[in-house]
Homo-oligomer: A and B are copies of this chain.
Amino acid sequence: MGRDVANRRLRAGIVGGGKGSFIGAVHRVAVELDGQAEVVAGAMSTDPQRAEESAKAWFLDRSYASYEEMAEKEAARPDGIDFVMVATPNHMHYPVAKAFLQHGIHVVSDKPMSFSLEEAREEVALVEKSNLIFAVTHNYTGYPMVRQARDLVRSGAIGEIRKVMVEYIQDWLMDSQENSGNKQAAWRTDPTKSGIAGSVGDIGTHAENLLEFITGQKIASLSADLSTFVAGRQLDDDANMLLRLENGAKGLLTCSQIAAGEENNLNIRVYGTRAGLEWHQMEPNTLLFKQPGQPTQIYRTNAAYTSDEAKAAARTPGGHPEGFYEAFANVYKQVIADIRRVESGEKPLGGYPTVYDGLRGMLFISKVVESSQKGATWVDMNA
């Protein structure tokens, strides 16, 4: 569009992510990791003092009391931010994104993309007419072995997909953390901030996105059984689902935040007519490729035999573990490259989750809740 982005790191701003936030620091580390961007401005909390302290702790040049002010003033500066990172609770994702989009600033939004499906549809429309880069942080797509998994599917090595099993299970909400002063727990279990879903919105959408990312198949219909095991909680903390994919494959998806003893156990298995795949987020540099009648093969991050896309997502030689930050940074790596492109008049290349993936996640949430409310019966994703 015309900013001069050559010969400098891009300038990023952040909304939310202040002191005490887990995800704020993740965004900062991830966006700066490749030395292609630096965070210079923020509206890091709705509490002015906390906003100020948070910005100071990060040595930011500019701290704002509100995201509206930030959007307006940054858009007006010649050295204003090139893009904003939205790291607020869910209900603010869309309003914040909207403000920056309307000021011509590129956006990277946390997921779920919005508070409601309606908002998500508005957001798509807004992005479509904006010509701005808009990404959603389905960060698990950034792991090299997830890229490798997708490439194995694309290459035909798996054959036609028949069965998919995806799980995202944790235990951090197995007790009533929201009543013990845990802010992370409080907003995630509050329907006025989180939306109509709890665990399904927070982590189920990652599972859904990972499944569709790797398999290249969309969920056609689902039957979901949501539970709330912790007394007094208003949103689901566990969900089990049957899936049918568009190509006729069948699937299971479960997410849970009450699975005692589980940390952050996201994993996926895909079985086709020719071979199977297995990947675990907690040991992310390993991917199992399972061919019937052949020894299972252990694919490893950045090994010589990995695909170009998998290699592009890796930074260190095999055996030097890459983790959560590096995967998250891979989303930013492609976003930053695309911002450079569009600002230089080139076409964006993509590769990161977009507003359409965000919409897909909101549709998933909506359908899962609908299915569960109807007694865990089948609902069509496209109806």
Contact = CB atoms under 8 A, between A and B. Distances in A.
Nearest to A293: B304
Given A289-B295, A323-B322, A323-B326, A259 B238 contact: no
Copies in the assembly, this chain: 4
Given A290-B262, A293-B304, A281 B321 contact: yes
Contacts of A321: 281-284, 321, 323-324
Interface stretch (A26-34, A86-94, A107-115): A26-34
Interface stretch (A72-80, A212-220, A269-277, A348-356): A269-277
A263 B295 CA distance: 11
Nearest to A302: B263
Nearest to A264: B319
A107 B276 CA distance: 40
Contact of A35 (B26, B58, B299, B324): B58
A310 B229 CA distance: 31
A319 to B, nearest CB: 3
A258 interface: yes
B252 A252 contact: yes
A242 interface: yes
A376 B322 contact: no
Interface string A157-201: 011001101010011101000000000000000000000000000
Interface in A257-314: 258-265, 269, 271-276, 281-285, 288-300, 303-305
A307 to B, nearest CB: 12
Contacts of A35: 28-29, 32, 39, 58-59
Interface in A1-34: 7-9, 22, 25-26, 28-29, 32-34
30 contacts: A7-B59, A22-B317, A25-B315, A29-B35, A29-B315, A38-B38, A158-B260, A162-B227, A162-B258, A170-B319, A174-B292, A238-B250, A240-B251, A242-B242, A252-B252, A252-B254, A258-B271, A259-B269, A261-B289, A263-B300, A293-B304, A294-B305, A295-B299, A295-B300, A296-B297, A315-B325, A320-B324, A321-B323, A323-B325, A323-B326
Interface of A: 7-9, 22, 25-26, 28-29, 32-35, 38-39, 56, 58-59, 158-159, 162-163, 165, 167, 170-172, 174, 223, 225, 227, 229, 238, 240-242, 244, 250-252, 254, 256, 258-265, 269, 271-276, 281-285, 288-300, 303-305, 315-326, 375-378
